[in-house]
Structure 1
């Protein structure tokens, strides 16, 4: 359900071509009329492969509208390190697509960023729920424009596996464990868990914690205003441990999970030789299932919302990539024009049509999404409004919530390996968090 303005009346095709806005007026996209011809916009982000190709379509639409050429550089996961080195070397990109709130805040406090223009901020106020503006702001100034979102409260399953087990999508966490047991009893382990990638384990925890402890506690823990030794954390770890400790429910048991990365976890469910019936992760599971394994989303691969835990509400945890403008970039005019473009439904519709994408922009026509399942995920994200909570680990300092082999990622991998002592894990998490937030 759209919040402040009616659903965009333009068709996905019209939006993608950028011809007109609703009512026939030209779409504003940061200047228009080729006035940026001769400039080259340098954009850095984590994307590679299919995501990079699809984002290039957005860059091409900007070029068609403004005349500016574009160059994209993939940073890999260590955005902070790569961008910092480029700034020090005098080769700063103009725009960075930042995947973590904590990194955006870090950049702003290092005085690396330029606040968004009034035009871009007005578009954010018009097109986004206030929570997205909050996540893009530091000390009252708006620096980040959330262009791509992830709905991280989706559990993907094989309809064939569910049919074989005689089960339907569950409505509660307890029902999900019973469903998992039925799938396992039918001869196929229930879950493929991507334990080799610590970030997936943080997502498991966050969904349970948001539903079980509630949004107020979630916000407090995300900001380290309560300690990780809080009883709510221990309780959530205990709940998660009830799944992680049951080797029959996890493909390969704990050891197998710890040697399974995220793409492999999707393959275990939707690949040619299924090894599990379900995989928990965000809407981006659909892209791998479709592009790599030829699954028809909504038919061969479906999802149900991450179920409510212990009488709580269904959680809606999101991630996202925010566009920011670096002060040291060589093309500030083109950079800000690009962010003004990204804030429009038109820009989001380009990638929505290509697939593998959700937008937090409330005025993107749902018809722009290429399949029914993604429309459902997009609608769920938009309907959640201000109850959406951003990925907690992405709000933390990178040393705690976003670095391979250390902090929360490693400690939750250790917990997956041995989930017998949630209180001890909570104490270790607190020690690591305290050190990271202090520094």
Structure 2
């Protein structure tokens, strides 16, 4: 299609887009406000160590993806999707009411439980989010639709984190955070009422509520379909790669660049906008087709710009250590701009990498299994994000610096790209054919 943004004005896509965007936004407003309070006002909430809590709380949000994704995939295949979305939005309002009581009463237990429940909310919504699109978009529109969803999600996450950090720093943080998350939750439900019907593909499916056996069944099913399985691994690697880098942005800004929260927000903002640009750019570069060649081009960009970012930040760190009187903003030179350009192009490359993979899952999974494919993908995504934390802890324990961690991750990304081409030669053939088409 000529202009992907035209989808936003259409009933089949617009209400869904804004509903999912507000959900991602609210997740991050609440989560960031809570972590900000834990980081700066631990004593008023608990006797536990603030740094430990700030590490453990995000794990509570991820845990439901392991426990309930398999069941969520079955529900999304069994029931009409717009009904599920509205029920999830009602659940969100209830969770935010519960969280508001936790904020106002300074109950860390209630807030931690609310964070876990928001993870349940996101787990239920995930399979619906990506299996909805093939039901309402034409095959030639899937790249545009997924590009808009990825763009919207990253911008929503960014804005949610910025607002959550600001709300968490206010003197009357409990009141204003409570009002904000409740308003967003109610707005999300209101918008969800405009989402059109999406008939259940397999209404007769029997739900298996045992998360362990259903997860094992899902893994076995899609392991047998190597095209889907390799795509799931590739998507999960993107979240490993992104989680490894983004988790270090605050420490990078503070300890390596000797900057402030403003510098951290700048890095996060530029990266998020870059992913959005890359996601939208996919539609133009693929010309409405499923273009796996962009996956390998995106992977190449991810390694190249992550490596250069590591080199540049390492150079800046050395200059600041050599000249203690200087700061990041008084240092000057090309390294500062080069660093920001690397972050932007790293985000663009990530957008080019991830969107065609989601299109592949949606277009090649059988209609009756699309939600369960996404559920299996969500389980793997959560696992890889947990592994990324262990990967970083292991390397830091070996004395690796943050710039060195970025360089090692960039090198690992090259190995993953080679693995993808080895397991599925279609990726290599696609990029070769795509480049030949550009020259022709």
Q: Same fold (TM over 0.5)?
A: no
Q: Which has the higher strand share?
A: 1
TM-score of the aligned structures, taking structure 1 as reference length: 0.23
TM-score (norm 2): 0.23
